[in-house]
């Protein structure tokens, strides 16, 4: 699942505070029961409300080390399903190891987190990447995507690879097309429509998805869906989360 949590500092119409939305998020996770979740816009103030979720899931990832809006692009994975082998948070900049580094004109430092896991059910290993690109300038996203592609090719290992995130761009943008060099295929095509709730954001992206899940070619996909409904009249976030179910050919 790729899940933009909507930063706790945002006050958008139709989106209650995280302390209220967390109940909708918990209901959604209980219904769909994802093994792995890439979250965006996670902030430190959200952690106290996530105790029920973190009973079942390990969470990994550093913050972007920004002076303001210090968000995480963390990865959650089921404790009873996976064993953590390795992981790191890197910066989408000229100095990928330097905390808080960013390209000029990027509003905030942008990051990618990855984990290398062992699947205790199948004994296979996998690498999961999760990211959130710049929201403002296409040329900045393109710079970040070049670094992201390089990081994926450098750090991926194991039987297969997953990439999820909020890319803040559509599939035919220059930034997204650069991801072709990773040889991962996108499961969220244009037929999904906007992954943003509300007309203003959707119009900006021509009612096309900006939240995506990309996977290795050796994965067989059973389902890929966009979650569009509220729980007890509360939407989990201002995005429509996306989730995919798949199997590996060797499992």
Q: In this structure, are strands 125-132 and 185-186 parallel, antiparallel, or unpaired?
A: unpaired
Question: Rounded CA gap, 149 and 143, in Å?
Answer: 10
Could you tell me where the beta strands, DSSP code E, fall in the chain? Answer: 2-4, 36-40, 57-60, 75-78, 82-91, 111-119, 125-132, 160-166, 185-186, 211-215, 219-226, 242-248
Closest CA to 144 of 153, 131, 130: 131
| Residue whose C-alpha is closest to residue 21's, from 244, 246, 238 | 238
Q: What is the pLDDT of residue 251?
A: 61
230-235 contacts: CB < 8 A, separation 24 or more? 230/24, 231/23, 231/24, 231/27, 231/28, 232/23, 232/24, 232/27, 234/16, 234/20, 234/21, 234/23, 234/24, 235/14, 235/15, 235/21, 235/24, 235/197
- Identify the pLDDT of residue 250: 65
Q: Is the pTM of this model over 0.85?
A: yes
> Domain limits of the chain?
2-248
pLDDT of residue 58: 98
Centroid of chain to Cα 91: 15
Per-residue pLDDT of the chain (251 residues; tens, 9 = 90+): 999 999 977 677 778 999 999 999 999 999 999 999 999 999 999 999 999 999 999 999 999 999 989 999 999 999 999 999 999 999 999 999 999 999 999 999 999 999 999 999 999 999 999 999 999 999 999 999 999 999 999 999 999 999 999 999 999 999 999 999 999 999 999 999 999 998 767 888 879 999 999 999 999 999 999 999 999 999 999 999 999 999 987 66
pLDDT at 223: 97
Q: Evaluate whether the domain defined by 2-248 bears CATH number 3.60.10.10.
A: yes
CA distance 169 to 95: 23
Q: What is the CA radius of gyration of the chain?
A: 17
């Amino acid at each position: 699942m790729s899940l933009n949590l909507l930063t706790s500092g945002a006050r958008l119409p139709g989106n209650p505070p995280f302390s209220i939305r967390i109940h909708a998020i918990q209901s959604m996770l209980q219904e769909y029961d994802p093994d792995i979740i890439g979250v965006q816009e996670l902030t430190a103030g959200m952690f106290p409300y996530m105790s029920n979720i973190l009973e079942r899931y390990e969470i990994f990832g550093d913050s972007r080390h920004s002076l303001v809006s210090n968000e995480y692009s963390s990865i959650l994975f089921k404790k009873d399903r996976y064993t953590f082998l390795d992981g790191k948070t890197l910066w989408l900049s000229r100095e990928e190891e330097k905390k808080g580094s960013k390209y000029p004109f990027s509003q905030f430092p942008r990051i990618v987190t990855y984990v290398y896991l062992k699947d205790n059910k199948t004994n296979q290993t996998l690498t999961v990447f999760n990211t959130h690109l710049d929201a403002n300038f296409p040329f900045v996203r393109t710079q970040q995507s070049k670094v992201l592609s390089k990081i994926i090719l450098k750090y991926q290992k194991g039987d297969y690879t997953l990439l999820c995130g909020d890319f803040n761009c559509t599939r035919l943008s220059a930034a997204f097309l650069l991801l072709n060099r990773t040889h991962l295929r996108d499961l969220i095509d244009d037929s999904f429509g906007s992954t943003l709730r509300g007309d203003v954001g959707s119009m900006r992206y021509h009612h096309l998805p900006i939240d995506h899940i990309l996977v290795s070619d050796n994965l067989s996909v059973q389902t890929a869906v966009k979650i569009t409904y509220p729980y007890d009249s509360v939407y989990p976030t201002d995005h429509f989360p996306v989730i995919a179910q798949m199997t590996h050919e060797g499992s």
